[in-house]
Amino acid sequence: MKLFKKIAIIGVGLIGGSLGLAIKKKQLADTVIGIGHRQASIDQALRRGAIDQGCLDIEAAQGAGLLILATPVDKILGLIPRLFKIVSSECMVIDVGSTKSEIVKAAEKSGLTFIGCHPLAGMEKRGVAYAKDDIFENSLCLVVAPMKAKRTDIERVREFWKKLGAKTEVMDACMHDRILSFVSHLPHVVAYSLMDCIKPSYLKFAASGLKDTTRIGLSDPLLWRDIFLTNRKELLTSIKDFKASLNRVELLIRNNQSKALAAYLSKSRNKRNAIAH
């Protein structure tokens, strides 16, 4: 069932391209427009069948019923003030950024009909070449609405994600950024920091343990720089808590506390087992 006549996606990389593929697969729109800053990316998205038309001008978003901002967070913050003169009040604007407080504040000032979204799906790869039409199936999308958002708008966005195969959970921007600082942003800090402390000459001895632990360290550094900085307050808190945990295990090892160390490791292992598969 078509939910919109025209959907425009600004940023047709991994997530934007996957959205285009999924929207077209589920037949949720008559036309999917891709908007980017490099013609090569637009051409690749067209070849992949992720979009029906593509261009480099955000004016192409005019007439869209749904506009999806799928660029890095700093680009989203730059785009939001420009969109008010381009799209109508009937156009639903959503983003898929990994932080929300600054984005929601900007959207509230802009006058757009906006609902923040964060699909918890993706991979360390980047670009439309890796886009998949089923990436959102059985995933969770966090829906982050501004204070004055209409309930009907929130439900309309939830229905959109449901059609793509995702479950949704509604929360406010502060709670989103606090939770994600621990379960997403901090793991990336740890992966990058772990690689930083290892001497290059040791890497030839690395096996699956290090590779599995640091896989997310292959993610785009500029993308994660912006995520870290736009969620600076919450991320610094999670780093502080991680340091405290690291200090605890360091103390247990230093003092040769075998029983307490085993208990610490078992508690952490049980938490890991509790993560839904």
Query: CA 25, CA 200: separation in Å to the nearest integer?
Result: 45
* Half-sphere CA count of 209, side-chain side, radius 13 A: 4
Max Cα separation, the chain?
67
**Residue in 135, 132, 133, 157 with CA at minimum distance from that of residue 144:** 157
Looking at residue 125, its pLDDT comes to 79
- The structural domains of the chain, ordered by start, are 4-171 (3.40.50.720), 176-274 (1.10.3660.10)
Rounded to 5 degrees, φ, ψ at 119 are -70, 125
The CA-atom distances, in angstroms, between 208 and each of 136, 184, 192, 204 are: 27, 21, 17, 12
**Residue in 94, 119, 125, 132 with CA at minimum distance from that of residue 18:** 132
The CA-atom distances, in angstroms, between 58 and each of 43, 62, 84, 274 are: 16, 8, 12, 44
Q: Residues 245, 73, 187, CA angle at the centre, nearest 5°?
A: 20
Within 10 Å of residue 71's Cβ, how many Cβ atoms?
25
Positions in the chain whose pLDDT score sits under 50: none
Looking at residue 124, its pLDDT comes to 76
CB-based contact 130:219 (threshold 8 Å): no
Looking at residue 122, its pLDDT comes to 75
Looking at residue 218, its pLDDT comes to 94
Q: Which residues contact 124 (CB under 8 A, 6 or more apart)?
A: 215, 216, 217, 218, 219
Report the predicted TM-score, pTM, of the whole model to 2 decimal places: 0.91
Looking at residue 277, its pLDDT comes to 59
Distance of CA 217 to the CA centre of its chain: 15
Query: CA 156, CA 126: separation in Å to the nearest integer?
Result: 29
Query: CA 36, CA 175: separation in Å to the nearest integer?
Result: 31
